[in-house]
Structure 1
Amino acid sequence: MPKAQVTFEDIEVTVTVPAGTRLIEVSEKIGAGITYGCREGECGTCMMKIVSGSEHLANPSVLEDKVLKDNFAGVANRLACQAQVLGGHVVVRPG
């Protein structure tokens, strides 16, 4: 099974995860500072910044794209509950 690395800048931790893992799942397991409210991609509370490696994430769904636009998110922002790591190395931080 393909693997990916995710680094959480806020706690300086890097983990290896299976490809297809959502970033919120990793954050919960290691205690990173990404907060969330719904896990369904509708509330936007789990918005995070992709510091590097955005090319290793699945494209945003229609719902995620709408929530990001509704919240005036920057191009580097994604929802942790929706963003799936496909491989490579992704560096994220809350906000």
Structure 2
Amino acid sequence: MPKASVTFEKLGITILVPAGTRLIEISEKIGAGITYGCREGECGTCTVRIVSGMENMSERSVLEDKVLQENMAGRDHRLACQAQVLGGNIVVRG
């Protein structure tokens, strides 16, 4: 199974995870402290910035895109409860 290397910039922690893992799951595993409310992609609480590696992330769903736009988030932001890592290297600031 393909793996992805995810670095949480503020903690300076990098972890290797299976492709398809959601950022919120990784955060919980290492204690990165990404705050969330609904885990359904509707509240926008878990918005994080992808510093690098956006090309290694799943595409935004219609719902995720809508919530991020409503919260005036830039194209480099994702909802941690929705965004899946696909491989490669990803750096997150959350």
Q: Which residue of 1 aligns with 2:87?
A: 87
- Residue 48 of structure 1 pairs with residue 48 of structure 2: yes
Superposed structure 1 runs of 4+ greater than 4 Å apart: none
The CA deviation at 1:91 is: 0.2
Q: Look up the equivalent residue of 2:27 and give its one-letter code.
A: S
Q: Which residue of 2 aligns with 1:14?
A: 14
Partners of 1:38 and 1:17 lie apart in 2 by 23
Contact 1:50/1:77 (<8 A) preserved: yes
Percent sequence identity is 72
Total equivalences in the alignment: 94
Task: Structure 1 unaligned segments of length 5 or more: list them.
Answer: none
- How well do the aligned residues superpose, as a CA RMSD in angstroms? 0.5
Contact 1:10/1:33 (<8 A) preserved: no
TM-score, normalization by structure 2: 0.98
